[in-house]
Structure 1
Amino acid sequence: MNFKKAILFSLLVAAGTTTFAQTSNLRKAKSSLQKYDELKSAGSAELGRSNLTTAKEAIDQAIAHDKTKDDAETWTVYALVNANVATLDNSEEAATAAADAIKKAKELDADNKHGDNLTIAGQMLGQFSFNQGVGAWDKQDFKTAYKLFGNALTYLPGDTTLTYYSGLAAIQSQDYPSAIEKYKELIPAKEFSAHRSVLVDLPKLYLSTQDTINALEYAAIAVREYPDDNDAVVQNIELNLIVGNEAKVITDIENQIAKDGNNKSLYYYLGIAQSAANNSDKAIEAYKKAIAIDPNYSDANRNAAATIINSVRDELNAVNEDKTLSNADYNTKVDALKEKIKGALPYLEKVVELNPQDSDALRSLKGYYDFQQDEAKSAEIQAKMDALN
């Protein structure tokens, strides 16, 4: 009887000693981790490696014992230790262990007593994933970078820099829908340093998905948010020209020209818009101003010539349909049109000069000489066209 009591007492002492040992391991891990954190905060993380190793050894023992394996604090310290190991050694294994520990600790921490420390562990994992993502970016592995930046965002939700980098990585991997999603998340973050770039680039991303409706919508938003930004305003103009809303943006273009009078593209856009609004004279005037800024502006030269030629052609068709004209009146009107179309010649010649193999320009130039009944010049241009074939 006494022997049995002695055995029982012995077992109780042994059990108490084991529990104390595991509690001691937890305290040891916390103390060593604190010493490591102090050195890390002082910029000497490597000097604290031995402290972190001691913390890891102690918490590994505590986490494995039946008496402490279901304690929220133990798992919290385990998460912090492994998050630090992951950061110091660039260890994916430690990062995975820390992520699992955070999940386990949250399950056990019903009263959220350790919420602050779990947030810190998560932030470290977010930084770890971000650093991994930067490494993948540097290797031009943009799909992996996007995935890693996304992992970081699970621990750092709403981080504007991370969200922006995620969008950039998606763009680089041509995953435009994902890039759009990330960029749209940044629209409310007006204080973000790249906010203007996000709004200006968002319509381009929609265009990449062939979604002109949303491209126009967000181009208008960009102008509304940044009315004095040249890129935003010009992009809105260009998109409206693309979808056929030329007449709608004439005033916008003229207002922008008032701010940026040496921008040849704006005059070119104004020419397109005025031409679409059937204002041929104003269109030609706009093209001429673009050419005055850059005489070698091929598109402006081409459109100036085309606008003059189209205007003459329309008038010629009207003359041909007018059956009331006498031969003399008809010839007089045609001669006047031949004189008028001469205005297109220098622009046609410039286009051909800039690109001698431009078959469309050569064809227009031959048509000009045919109308002028200049057989020699027409044959000369035809020979050039034949040489291209």
Structure 2
Amino acid sequence: MNFKKAIVFSLLVAAGTTTFAQTSNLRKAKSSLQKFEELKSAGSAALGKSNLTAAKEAIDLAVAHEKTKDDPEAWTIYALVNANIASMDNVPEAATAAAEGVEKAKALDTEKKNAENIAVVGQVLGQYNFNQGVASWEKQDFKSAYAQFDKALTFLPGDTTLTYYGGLAAIQNQDYKNAVEKYKLLIPKKDFSAHKSVMVDLPKLYLSMKDTASALDYAAQAAQAYPNDNDAAVQNIELNLIAGKESKVIADIENQIAKDGNNKSLYYYLGIAHSAANNNDKAIAAYKKAVEIDPNYNDANKNAAATIINSVRDQLNALNENKTLSNNDYNKKVTELKEKIKEALPYLEKSVALNPKDVDALKSLKGYYDFQQDEAKSNELKAKIDALN
């Protein structure tokens, strides 16, 4: 939060030279407040506490006095005094009184002569509520923290730090609706230091609200705003895959690979996208590349094997449905498929080696040996599967 330098001294002095019918209480309140502000400005606010107390006693009388009860300056001083008391001594009642004083001053100050001092009150109250929010956050009372940050924004509208902290508190409280609203306010603020985090996290918040359409929309916005950021790009890819828009996202993945060619996850995503689009050969090539980058990438090993096996299975089903083939031609083509499926074996074996208790991986490997008619290997794997079950 960036606060303006308080200009209360000069305004108080200037106002004191132009007011005609002031009571002694208003003059005393202004004088005492000025002394407090001078000490506060010098870093010695505690030394000026007696001046602040004197200012409060005088201004309470002034706003009740017949001559000054409708004086906008009196209510402005009233707000300033109470705001400082709230800030110094953490007095919620004083903060409430200050806010009421501001509203009264604004209503009476039709010529806006006290506008600058009223703005100073807003700064003090904004800081007060921000501090309250931080205190609640430290106690992990995120609901109260959000309420305090949100209240601070009423005094400091548009403050990016307060808006961001409000969003964070809402997230911690699983109040995703308010978190989204706060984050959306920050989208135009590209110079804000946490802008990229806001853009990348906003789609996740929509997913938490089960709003996939909005998540996709804001993921695309994040990728567009930060085209060279891997997190934004990968999130956009992942969400499109979740939404079943594989064909659309293939070009996005390939563009990102061009920038980050050693990212195993991108090749894995490319494999998923191509597989969903029935581009099996391209899917297998992508999974193989992911494994080449990281031989222990289990998901890529499993998907490479599964895609190869599924491709062979589809061809076998087609053979079985082709009634025009002679027995010799059929057997020849099955032998060719047995040779082709061997491509899956190293990926199946690696997957089992990485996770020997993965029943699905063991079943896939058993299925491979069943197809190869290797009874000994098949029985060995069956025994392992039965032991795990």
- Scaled by the length of structure 1, the TM-score of the pair is 0.92
> Counterpart amino acid of 1:261?
G
Alignment correspondent of 1:362? 362
Bigger mean CA offset, 298-307 vs 364-373: 364-373
Task: Give the share of equivalent positions with the same residue, in percent.
Answer: 75
CA drift of 1:22 comes to 7.3
Once the two structures are superposed, residues 279-314 of structure 1 have per-residue CA deviations (whole angstroms, 9 ceiling, x without a partner) of 211111111111111111111001000000000001
User: In the comparison of the two structures, how many residue pairs are matched?
Assistant: 370
1:181 counterpart residue number: 181
Q: Residue in 2 aligned with 1:207?
A: 207
Q: 1:127 maps to which residue?
A: 127
Distance in structure 2 (CA, Å) of the matches to 1:327 and 1:295:
41
CA distance in 2, matches of 1:316, 1:91: 79
- Post-superposition offset of 1:238: 1.0
2:74 matched residue in structure 1: 74
CA deviation string 1:237-292 (max 9, x = no partner): 11111111111122211111111111100110111111122221111111111111
Aligned to 2:114: 114
| Partner in structure 2 of residue 170 of structure 1 | 170
CA contact (8 A) 1:22 1:61 kept: no
1:224 is displaced (CA, Å) by: 1.6
CA separation in 2, counterparts of 1:370 and 1:101?
84
Matched residue type, 2:26: L
| Residue 88 in structure 1 maps to residue 88 in structure 2 | yes
Deviates more, 1:374-383 or 1:124-133: 374-383
Runs of 4+ in 1 over 6 A off after TM superposition: none
Matched with 2:191 is 191
Structure 2 equivalent of residue 334 of structure 1 = 334
Q: Deviations over 1:332-367 (max 9, x none)?
A: 111111111111112112222222222221221221
Q: Distance in 2 between matches of 1:102 and 1:21?
A: 22
Q: Once the two structures are superposed, what CA deviation does each residue of 1:225-246 show, in whole Å capped at 9, x if it has no partner?
A: 1111111111111111111111
Counterpart residue number, 1:240: 240
AA of the residue aligned to 1:232: A
What is the CA distance between 1:108 and its match in structure 2? 2.2
Separation (CA, whole Å) in 2 of partners of 1:235 and 1:181: 21
Residue of structure 1 in register with 2:314 after alignment = 314
Structure of greater relative contact order (alpha carbons < 8 Å, 6+ residues apart) = 2
- AA aligned opposite 1:163: T
CA shift at 1:115, angstroms? 1.9
Q: Could you tell me which amino acid in structure 2 is paired with residue 268 of structure 1?
A: Y
Work out which of the two has the higher radius of gyration on C-alpha atoms and give 1 or 2: 1
Structure 1 counterpart of 2:47 = 47
- Partner SS for 1:64: coil
Query: Which position in structure 2 is the counterpart of 1:7?
Result: none
Tell me how far 1:66 sits from its aligned partner. 3.1
Please report how far the alpha carbon of residue 67 of structure 1 lies from its aligned counterpart in structure 2 after TM superposition. 3.2
Q: For 1:190 and 1:254, how far apart are their aligned partners in 2?
A: 27
Checking the alignment, whether the CA contact within 8 Å between 1:22 and 1:65 is kept in structure 2 is no
Q: Which residue of 2 aligns with 1:223?
A: 223
Taking the aligned partners of 1:306 and 1:40, their CA distance within structure 2 comes to 72
Conservation of the 8 A alpha-carbon contact between 1:29 and 1:58: yes
Aligned to 2:262: 262
Write out per-residue CA displacement over residues 7-32 of structure 1, whole angstroms, 9 at most, x where no aligned residue: xxxxxxxxxxxxx9971111111111
In 1, distance between residues paired with 2:383 and 2:37? 83
Structure 1 residue 89: Cα displacement:
0.7
TM-score (norm: length of structure 2): 0.92
**Cα separation, 2, equivalents of 1:215 and 1:274:** 23
- Partners of 2:357 and 2:173 lie apart in 1 by 36
Give the residue type in structure 1 aligned to 2:205: L
The Cα of 1:168 is off from its aligned counterpart by 0.7
SS at match of 2:63: helix
Separation in 2 of the partners of 1:288 and 1:277? 18
Matched AA of 1:328: N
Any unmatched runs of 5+ in structure 2? Answer: 1-19
Question: How many angstroms apart in 2 are the aligned matches of 1:28 and 1:345?
Answer: 92
Partner of 1:141: 141
Q: For structure 1, which runs of at least 5 residues remain unmatched after alignment? A: 1-19
Distance in 2 between residues matched to 1:21 and 1:356, nearest whole Å:
91
The one-letter amino acid of 1:103's match is E
Aligned to 2:5: none
